[in-house]
Amino acid sequence: MTKLVMSKRDLTDYLDETGQAGSTWLHGWKLGEAKAKFSRVVRLAASGQPQRVTVRGKDAVVIVAADEFERLRARARSGSLHELLSQSPLNRLELDDEGVRSPVREVEL
Per the structure, the complete domain to which residue 83 belongs is given by 3-88
Q: Does the residue 96 lie in any domain?
A: no
Q: Does some domain include residue 97?
A: no
Domain with residue 25: its CATH number is 3.40.1620.10
Residue 67 within a domain = yes
Q: What is the pTM of this model?
A: 0.51
Is the residue at 45 inside a domain? yes
pLDDT of 67: 94
Strand-pair category, 27-30 with 51-55: parallel
Domain membership flag for residue 82: yes
Domain total of the chain = 1
Across the beta sheet with 27-30, the strand order is 3-6, 58-65, 51-55, 27-30
What is the per-residue pLDDT for 105?
86
Mean pLDDT of 3-28: 53
Alpha carbon distance 45, 11 (integer Å): 14
User: What confidence tens digit (pLDDT) does each residue in 36-94 have?
Assistant: 999 999 999 999 999 999 999 999 999 999 999 998 888 777 777 777 777 778 777 77
